[in-house]
Amino acid sequence: MISIERSLVTPRWQRIALPIASLFIASIIAGIVLAVSGHDPIGTYQQIYDASFTSAGALTATFVYATPLLFTGLAVALAFRMRVWNIGGEGQLYMGAVGASGVGLLLGGWPQPLLILMMMLGGGLAGLLWAMIPGLLRAYLRTNEILVSLMLNYVAGLFMYYLIYDSTSFWRDTTSASALVFPQGKDLLPAADWPGIAVGSFTMPFGFIAGGVFAVALLALIRFTRFGFEMRVMGDSSAAANYAGIRTRRTIVTVMALSGAMAGLGGASQIGDFGHVLDPRGLQQAGYGYTGIVVAALAMYNPLAVVIVSILIGALTNAGFALQGPTFPIGLVGTMEGIILFSVLGGEFLGRYRIRFGRAPEPAPSVDDEAGAEVAR
Amino acid sequence: MNVDVVVSVAVSAIAYGTPLVLAGLGELLAERSGVLNLGVEGMMLIGAVTAFFASQVLPGPGWAVLIAAIVAAAAAGAALALIHAFLSITVRVNQIVSGLALTIFAGTIGLSSYAGQVWGVGGQHGLHQLVKLDVLGLSGVPIVGPILFNQDAFVYASWGLVALVTYYLYHTRFGLYLRAVGESPRSADAMGINVSRYRYVHTIVGGAFAGLGGAYFTLAIAPIWTDGLTAGAGWIAIALVIFAFWRPGLLVVGAYLFGALSSLGFTLQANGVQLPSELFSSLPYVMTVVVLAVASTTMAQRRIGTPAALGVPYVREEG
Amino acid sequence: MDSRAARVSAASAESATAGSPPAVAAVGVTKRFAGGVVANDRVSFEARSGEVHALLGENGAGKTTLCNILTGLYRPDEGEVRVNGNPVRLHSPHEAQAAGIFMVHQHLSLVDSLTVAENVVLGWSRHGGLGFSARTVEAEIEEIASRYQMAVDPRARIWQLSLGQRQRVDILKALYRGASILILDEPTTVLTPSEIEQLFSSVREMVAGGRTVIFISHKLPEVFAIADRTTILRRGRSMSTLEIAATDARQLARLMVGHEMSFDVHPRATSVESEPAPAVPPVLAMDGVHVRGDFGIDALKDLSLAISAGEILGIAGVSGNGQRELAEVVAGLRPFSRGTIRIGGENVVSGDPRDAINRGVANIPEDRMGTGVSPNLSVAENLILKSYRSSSPHAGPVLLMRQAEAQATALMARFDIRAPSPRTLVRQLSGGNVQKVVLARELSSGPRLVIAASPTRGLDVGATEYVRSVLVDAAKQGAAIMLISEDLDEIVELSDRIAVLYEGRVVGVVDAATANYEQLGLMMAGATS
């Protein structure tokens, strides 16, 4: 008889080899899909690689797509590790964009370094506060944070729309010529543009560097601080955390706050690094918050891995838009991303379990057995 | 505000709401079994493009083509849902991640767009469309006529499905077992109910319904296909199910309410009332959060009927 | 007296029909589990139709295993089960139910949001077919309920019902599906006294119709109130089957716990008696404490006890009488609603584990893997699970893991924890080593009070000896120790005094040196008058 049982130990090599193997399998499956629908697999992959990394301006464009994913991916990696299911990154990013653009418009005249700092603070704070709603509700009322954070995504989206398309708010551009034709947000002053670091012909956005710093900081937080220790215990066994005297409710709220701040910073980066204007439609179509969840999952919720995965997914997205045309369907992007995800998720299954032949021995009954607890067979 | 306005709001609410009802019913069934499916948007898009493609290439009389297209859409949605079901139930992957993976896989820049291009249906004009019927010749009746008797077959089918799902849930054995599976899989298992099977079946059926909801776009609302046609309807359906607290009757009300609210905002403004439409549109979501928060004691949760095991993989304890 | 006389005559009527085979029987049943545990050792048991048969025994006696075999959850390694004299092979609860054998467990499997009627037909229908007519089922339930005096509203939802009413639903489920042999597992744990009376009258109705009721219990007063015959199990063996009318509490208690002291039990209490009692306040003083249990009933009622420094107080009792809640309330994991708990003379904060930890309370929990350790963290990390806030190596908010690992290595040597390195994940360790990690963490901080709940359960002989010696050492160092254990021998061997818990109260405290098993057994079974 064949039974599948949980493997106790995942050797370290397996933890890295498995995703790589999955990626390899994913590229084969995607290649088959391509071939079947009349495209040349190898050629397409070459095109993608070229458009993501090597052709002129490709790397810069890749980082444009990677930066928001880095932030939202970090937000989710932090929360999901602790089994706090924050799927409100989308809304937290929107609020972060609102906060940062508001600050940027308000403090337009300030010296640039200070202005950038304030924009980051504004965006991070807005995201943090938005995330505190589901965080507090979960910690103190035990409300399901999946449902609440999801609902708040819609509310945040509608709020953004209201600011730009349906009101004469501070954020809305009411004067310029194009704004009279179609509603749009106020442009931020050039001083509010976040600088990019130029390396040869490639420019890395300030936001990505900041995000990378945050990734390292988060990793350090989780691994080296006492608070990170509490997080890890809580994420592993909430009963043990309670037993150890860890203040679980405070920890949940803090993690949600940090997570929201990360997503909010992603929104701030959208304003400071790229658009320089609050663009609700663009943000909603991009879906960075939801994609961030997938990025974090692929990265196995490790902050440093999130950096790498965000570049990968950013590269794929960039290539898709850059190559889009009659010979290169944009639909390939999502299809390939999906295949990668399914392969990695499915591959994790193989890593977690092992197949045993023969009948597994019955374990000894515990005292619960004597106390009459049910034992399902 | 005169009667004509009310009627037109109602009619547009129904048009807006029908795909939500269909996809929402599917999501309701899946969530009742304990599986959260965030891939609805992707399944709707796949359904939409599949239905359109089928209606363009299949030969035969209009009604037969339409039926075949609808079936194809349902099958496509179900196939996608099978992936989600396998990942969530058997592999026991995080359901949030799995559902989102599906939305990305099949979504606006995913498989639905890819299929659209491979099948070459973008920019084509639809050959077959559902037409508004004149039921019992009553569509001329004031007020009720346009609302109740002048809809297309899909709308009537959606009403039928709501009744069917309601009956299924509350008056059949299997609906009872379904409710037990979502509420307490351990108890259901102890009673000999196959939890896995229920979850698989209802997730897949949920996908089929989502496909149907998508088909409504290309077969009834507008006879074209573009990427991302559903524009977030799948996400609204997910919110709707929670707003309706997993009850089909409230789901229908909610779907039409959402539709009415979004057109109501514009209507009010046209009549000089200066309230932003987004305020109205956000009310259902805010209300849902409030109710969820207030009803967070276990007692109240029982009354609401949140499937207690929603999103949690069921692992039968060893030994 | 009246009921006894009635049952004596019933018993003699029974013997008149002694030719008919028993309704259900286990013949020579043996059941072994992994790890060498023999839960049932050639157990023979039979229950007749029309009788209430009590299965008596303390923890680990094998009662539940035997019943799990009768209901098809387990298959016996040797021996067989017979129904009405015919051997049957029961491969699943469904087959047992088809044979008419149903069990009502302590932990009910009801779905809260559904109605009584819906729960009763869950997974099985008398009528078959697609439809589910609530009205028909409700009428059928009402009919059964009134016949057996188990009034319950079939339209009520489970969350609206009290525990006693929920139990009735579970019993109704079995009756609705045609139970002829009904096994009730410690049913009175969740009932009020008046509900117990109602249950008993319902049971009498059931057996009057020819059914068999097997009643698992450890509470002698109840056994005498309801049972016709009883079988006593001890350590996996069936000791004896007796007519209730022909026995008394002392005999049953003796059979349950054994009247000889085992030869390898050396109570340490003898060394303590000669010391004069110092006039120091006890380390732990509990006074009139009430604790709410998980299902809304009081798990501890008006509980008072005290433990002095250097003393080991053993808490004896059949599991389910409040031991778990007692450990939790002293450790701050569960709030208490009335009374006071003082540690070192100061009142503790109710329900705050951090407060307890700060007061020097160490807790070796019953569920070591689920509560006592964080399984996917390393040995070193588990060793600083509580001390990371205060004494572990840290510089401000930063944890210095390298130093922590060095300290862990030292602790591992001192407590004989066998693991490749301090970085090994705890879930990879054997049960004994996991317990040693818990011990090392809890005892190395020099605690004032140690709560040890079932500390040697599931451990091999070597680990068991080690754990016991460590606890005795801690007492010698001046800690007060609350030893909660289901192993009476262990309690007698290690304790200075023994308190017996029954139904959430301390029903007696005795000196371990002068304790005798019969007396303890009587107290554990609630038979002290």
pLDDT in the model for residue C92? 86
C-beta of residue A196 within 8 angstroms of C-beta of residue A204: yes
CB contact under 8 A, B288 and A141: no
What is the distance between the alpha carbons of residues B146 and B138, in angstroms, rounded to a whole number?
A: 8
CA distance B319 to chain C (A): 10
Residues of A in contact with B316 (CB under 8 A): 376
Residues of A in contact with C96 (CB under 8 A): none
Q: Is residue A313 scored above 90 in pLDDT? A: yes
Percent of chain C, pLDDT > 90?
Answer: 48
What is the distance between the alpha carbons of residues A86 and A80, in angstroms, rounded to a whole number?
A: 7
Task: Pick the more confident residue, C421 or C126.
Answer: C421
Task: For C316-367, write each residue's pLDDT tens digit.
Answer: 998 888 999 999 999 999 999 999 999 988 999 999 999 999 999 999 999 9
CB contact under 8 A, A331 and B115: yes
CB contact under 8 A, C131 and B193: no
The shortest CB-CB distance from C111 to any of B171, B180, B298 is to B180
Task: For B284-309, write each residue's pLDDT tens digit.
Answer: 889 888 888 887 665 565 556 667 77
Residue A294 class from Cβ within 10 Å (0-12 exposed, 13-18 middle, 19+ buried)? Answer: buried
Size of interface A-C (CB pairs under 8 A): 127
Which range among A107-116, B136-145, B260-269, C152-161 shows the weakest confidence by mean pLDDT? B260-269
Task: For B48-67, write each residue's pLDDT tens digit.
Answer: 999 999 998 888 888 889 99
pLDDT in the model for residue B96? 92
Task: For C221-257, write each residue's pLDDT tens digit.
Answer: 999 999 999 999 988 888 889 999 999 888 888 888 8
The shortest CB-CB distance from C73 to any of A224, A225, A375 is to A375
Residues of C in contact with A226 (CB under 8 A): 388-389, 394, 397-399
What is the distance between the alpha carbons of residues A227 and A258, in angstroms, rounded to a whole number?
A: 12
302-361 of C, contacting A, C-beta below 8 A: 319-320, 331-333, 353-354, 356-357
Rounded to 5 degrees, φ, ψ at C86 are -100, 130
Q: Is residue A324 scored above 60 in pLDDT? A: yes
Which range among A194-203, B236-245, B289-298, C494-503 shows the weakest confidence by mean pLDDT? B289-298
* HSE-CB of C80 using CA atoms within 13 angstroms: 8
Task: Choose from A224, A225, A229, A249 for mutation: most chain C CBs within 10 A.
Answer: A229
Q: Measuring CA to CA, which residue among B205, A107, B184 is closest to residue C159?
A: B184
Task: Choose from B46, B96, B235 for mutation: most chain A CBs within 10 A.
Answer: B96
Question: For residue C9, what pLDDT band results from cuts at 50, 70 and 90?
Answer: very low
The B-side interface with C (CB below 8 A) comprises 171-177, 179-180, 183-184, 186-188, 190-193, 298-299, 302, 305, 308
CA distance C403 to chain B (A): 36
What is the distance between the alpha carbons of residues A144 and B289, in angstroms, rounded to a whole number?
A: 10
Task: Pick the more confident residue, B44 or A20.
Answer: B44
Residue C32 class from Cβ within 10 Å (0-12 exposed, 13-18 middle, 19+ buried)? Answer: middle
CA distance B74 to chain C (A): 25
C-beta of residue A63 within 8 angstroms of C-beta of residue A205: yes
Query: What is the rounded average pLDDT of the residues A323-335?
Result: 84
Percent of chain A, pLDDT > 90?
Answer: 47
Task: For A202-242, write each residue's pLDDT tens digit.
Answer: 888 999 999 999 999 999 999 989 899 999 999 999 999 99
The shortest CB-CB distance from B191 to any of C109, C113, C157 is to C109
Task: Choose from B100, B108, B193, B302 for mutation: most chain A CBs within 10 A.
Answer: B100
The C-side interface with B (CB below 8 A) comprises 93-94, 109-114, 118, 121-125, 129-134, 157, 159
What is the distance between the alpha carbons of residues B199 and B88, in angstroms, rounded to a whole number?
A: 10
Q: What tokens appear for A26 in the block?
A: 């994913």
Task: For B127-146, write each residue's pLDDT tens digit.
Answer: 888 888 877 777 777 777 77
Which range among B24-28, B145-149, C490-494 shows the weakest confidence by mean pLDDT? B145-149
CA distance B9 to chain A (A): 20
Whole-angstrom CA distances from C171 to A372, A376, B176, B226, C167 are: 15, 19, 20, 60, 6
Query: Neighbours of A (≥3 Cβ pairs closer than 8 A)?
Result: B, C
pLDDT in the model for residue C431? 85
Query: Neighbours of C (≥3 Cβ pairs closer than 8 A)?
Result: A, B
Count how many residues are written for chain B: 319
Which range among A7-16, A326-335, C283-292, C467-476 shows the weakest confidence by mean pLDDT? A7-16
CA distance C123 to chain B (A): 5
Question: For residue A112, what pLDDT band results from cuts at 50, 70 and 90?
Answer: confident
Q: Measuring CA to CA, which residue among C494, C515, C60, C7 is closest to residue C256?
A: C60
Q: What tokens appear for C296 in the block?
A: 């809304």
Residue of B nearest to A148 (CA): B289
Task: Work out whether the CA dihedral B103, B109, B111, B113 comes out positive or negative.
Answer: positive
Residues of B in contact with C114 (CB under 8 A): 176, 179-180, 183
Task: Choose from A222, A243, A247, A248 for mutation: most chain C CBs within 10 A.
Answer: A243
Q: Is residue C390 scored above 90 in pLDDT? A: no
| DSSP structure class, residue B127 | S
Q: Does A322 touch chain B (CB under 8 A)?
A: no
| DSSP structure class, residue C253 | H
CB contact under 8 A, B192 and C94: yes
C-beta of residue A329 within 8 angstroms of C-beta of residue B108: no
Is the full-model pTM beyond 0.90? no
Count how many residues are written for chain C: 529
Question: For residue A357, what pLDDT band results from cuts at 50, 70 and 90?
Answer: very low
pLDDT in the model for residue A125? 97
Query: Neighbours of B (≥3 Cβ pairs closer than 8 A)?
Result: A, C
What is the distance between the alpha carbons of residues A51 and A46, in angstroms, rounded to a whole number?
A: 8
Query: What is the rounded average pLDDT of the residues A150-163?
Result: 92
Whole-angstrom CA distances from A219 to A74, A214, A228, A287, A303 are: 10, 8, 9, 25, 6
- Kind plus residue range of the DSSP H or E element containing B64: helix B62-85
SS3 state of residue C348? coil
C-beta of residue C237 within 8 angstroms of C-beta of residue C43: yes
Which range among B84-88, B175-179, C261-265, C369-373 shows the weakest confidence by mean pLDDT? C261-265
Q: Is residue A15 scored above 80 in pLDDT? A: no
Residue A107 class from Cβ within 10 Å (0-12 exposed, 13-18 middle, 19+ buried)? Answer: middle
Strands (E) in C127-203, as ranges, are 181-185
ipTM: 0.85
Rounded to 5 degrees, φ, ψ at B232 are 90, 5
Q: Is residue A358 scored above 60 in pLDDT? A: no
Q: Does A370 touch chain B (CB under 8 A)?
A: no
SS3 state of residue C37? strand
The shortest CB-CB distance from A146 to any of B103, B112, B311 is to B311
CA distance C93 to chain B (A): 9
| DSSP structure class, residue C445 | T
Q: What tokens appear for B273 in the block?
A: 């009332």
Residues of A in contact with B43 (CB under 8 A): none
Question: For residue C37, what pLDDT band results from cuts at 50, 70 and 90?
Answer: confident
Residues of A in contact with C73 (CB under 8 A): 375, 377
What is the number of other CB atoms lying within 10 angstroms of the CB of residue C314? 29
pLDDT in the model for residue C252? 87
Query: What is the rounded average pLDDT of the residues B241-262?
Result: 88
pLDDT in the model for residue C258? 72
pLDDT in the model for residue A303? 95
Residues of C in contact with B173 (CB under 8 A): 121, 125, 129-132
Size of interface B-C (CB pairs under 8 A): 66
Task: Pick the more confident residue, B155 or B130.
Answer: B155
Task: Choose from C113, C155, C294 for mutation: most chain B CBs within 10 A.
Answer: C113
Rg (CA), chain C: 25
| DSSP structure class, residue B90 | I
Question: For residue C199, what pLDDT band results from cuts at 50, 70 and 90?
Answer: very high
CA distance A255 to chain C (A): 16
pLDDT in the model for residue B288? 86
Q: Does A377 touch chain C (CB under 8 A)?
A: yes
CB contact under 8 A, B94 and A297: yes
C-beta of residue A284 within 8 angstroms of C-beta of residue A157: yes
- Kind plus residue range of the DSSP H or E element containing C453: strand C449-453
pLDDT in the model for residue C224? 92
SS3 state of residue C481? strand
pLDDT in the model for residue A96? 96
Q: Measuring CA to CA, which residue among C111, C106, C130 is closest to residue C122?
A: C111
Residue of C nearest to A8 (CA): C428
pLDDT in the model for residue B134? 77
Q: What is the dihedral of CA B199, B204, B209, B210, to 10 degrees?
A: 100
User: Residue C240: beta bridge partners?
Assistant: C232
Question: For residue C498, what pLDDT band results from cuts at 50, 70 and 90?
Answer: very high
What is the distance between the alpha carbons of residues A237 and A229, in angstroms, rounded to a whole number?
A: 12
Q: What tokens appear for B315 in the block?
A: 């692992």
Residue of A nearest to B316 (CA): A376
Query: What is the rounded average pLDDT of the residues A252-275?
Result: 95
Size of interface A-B (CB pairs under 8 A): 164
Rg (CA), chain A: 23
pLDDT in the model for residue B271? 67
Query: What is the rounded average pLDDT of the residues B96-101?
Result: 93
Q: Which amino acid is at B158?
A: S
Question: For residue C19, what pLDDT band results from cuts at 50, 70 and 90?
Answer: low
pLDDT in the model for residue A374? 26
Task: For C51-92, write each residue's pLDDT tens digit.
Answer: 999 999 877 788 888 999 999 888 999 999 999 989 998 888
pLDDT in the model for residue A365? 41
